[in-house]
Amino acid sequence: MSGARLILASASPRRLELLGRLGAVPDEVVHADIDESPRKAELPTVYAARMAAEKAVAVARPGDVLVAADTVVAAGRRILPKAETEAEARASLRLLSGRRHRVHSAVTVVDADGKARHRLSTSIVAFKPLSEDEIDAYLASGEWHRKAGGYAIQGRAEALVRMLQGSHSGVMGLPLFETRALLRAAGWPVG
């Protein structure tokens, strides 16, 4: 694409790494400063898609190609927070212990002409039943901080997952299959 730059609307080092796996190295990484509060009774899939789209709108620049994403961990219709405190992470891990939950990763790509395209990846993840000692050990790692649902599947939490159906990269924060398709549709060269 002549003259177009690739912008990643995310401060997440995981998304930057994942985008690099597609051979797409952004020219700029910009944090989208938006209100990430869920609306009353908003479904997790709707929330994830809205967040990705709003991040894209907040950061998009004419003539550039932009990638924005959001990942939501949901237990039923309940959106679990990006854990800020150990208590939030502990509550999420206790809730997810021994049960299945869904991880929704939404991606929005805006092409150089300003056309936005959207995709949603939904994965099912099941943790083994977690003992309090296992939860304590995981919390001591600190990798839960600012992670949706209080865990990072690319870290120590992966050893606690007994089943994953869907996109591992989506659970990490950027579903590569969907992102590749969107980038190609936007005319960005990816393999």
Rounded-to-integer distance, Cα 157 and Cα 139, Å: 10
**Is 136 labeled as catalytic in the residue annotation?**
no
- Exactly one of 70, 113, 133, 136 is catalytic; which is it? 70
3-state SS, residue 18: helix
Rounded-to-integer distance, Cα 181 and Cα 38, Å: 28
Helices (H), 12-66: 13-21, 44-59
- Alpha carbon separation from 46 to 6, 112, 129, 149, 185 (Å, rounded): 26, 25, 29, 17, 23
Contact 90, 134 (CB under 8 A): no
What is the signed CA dihedral for 58, 172, 124, 182, rounded to 10 degrees?
A: 50
Q: How far apart are the first and last CA of the chain?
A: 14
Contact 6, 24 (CB under 8 A): yes
Please state the separation of Cα 5 from the chain's center in Å.
22
Which residues are designated catalytic? 70
